[in-house]
Amino acid sequence: MYTIEVLTIISFGFLGSLGHCIGMCGGFIVTYSTAKIDPSASKIKQSTLHLLYNSGRISSYTLLGALFGFFGSLWDATPLLKAIMYGFSALLMILMGLSLSGRIRFLNSIEYNLTQKKWYKKLFSKFMGGKNYRSFFFLGMLNGIFPCGLVYAALVWAMATGSFLGGAMVMLLFGLSTLPVLFSFGFFVGLLKQITFRNVMIQIASVIIFVFGIWTFYKSYIQLEIHLSPENKALNRSCD
């Protein structure tokens, strides 16, 4: 994985979490923090519980990334297939950037609400009611599978690696890059509630995510060029 790809994934996750995840998951974090964490507990214990929750969430992302990367390997990730997957991921990023900027309604339309499903409600109630350490981890894992537009784009990227380990690495980096904002949410929640500040940060995030989408389209174009190159065509003929 190239340095620029690593930086792109990290920036995409960090800016996406600041612009989108705070709005989507902020209420969830406040709910479990209020219901499950004793405010009189030490800062170390509270930090540990938040870390366990986020570790569960990132674990779900990593497992999903490994699964999608494995699917990509089964499909024999040729340059053409990579071009298609990078192109699709780029399209999602561009639409997300436009959605965050308020120009279109996109993110909400692709995020299916799992909370209405009985099995999800049952697990959510079980883990939300638990007070032991592992309940925080499993609650995070449950939140990690919640449909999210940012996760969709990252998973397509993971699939494009055509590798079990590559897909896991993409989603691990994505998950870790969302950690600073979501872990620290409780510490600067007052700042993020200031409309002017949050709007400015969302606009910055939307522009940068849009730019990353354009760059990912360029990756798609490179893979398409490889597919159409005389060398690749000759290799395909020799394989036939």
Provide φ and ψ at 227, rounded to 5°: -60, -40
Question: CA–CA separation, 180 vs 197, rounded Å?
Answer: 18
Neighbours of 116 (CB within 10 A): 8
Q: Which single residue is written with the structure tokens 């940060």?
A: 201
Question: CA–CA separation, 158 vs 170, rounded Å?
Answer: 6
Q: Where are the domains of the chain?
A: 3-233
Residues whose CB falls within 8 Å of the CB of residue 109, separated by 6 or more in sequence, listed in order: none
Q: What is the pLDDT of residue 190?
A: 46
Single-letter code of the amino acid located at 51: L
Question: CA–CA separation, 118 vs 224, rounded Å?
Answer: 44
Please report, in tens digits, the pLDDT of each residue of the chain (240 residues total): 667 778 878 888 887 777 666 666 666 777 787 888 887 888 888 889 989 999 999 999 999 999 999 988 877 667 888 888 888 888 887 887 887 777 777 666 655 666 677 888 888 889 888 878 999 999 999 988 887 777 887 888 888 788 899 999 999 999 999 888 888 775 555 445 555 656 676 777 778 778 888 888 888 899 899 888 877 655 555 544
Q: What is the pLDDT of residue 65?
A: 95
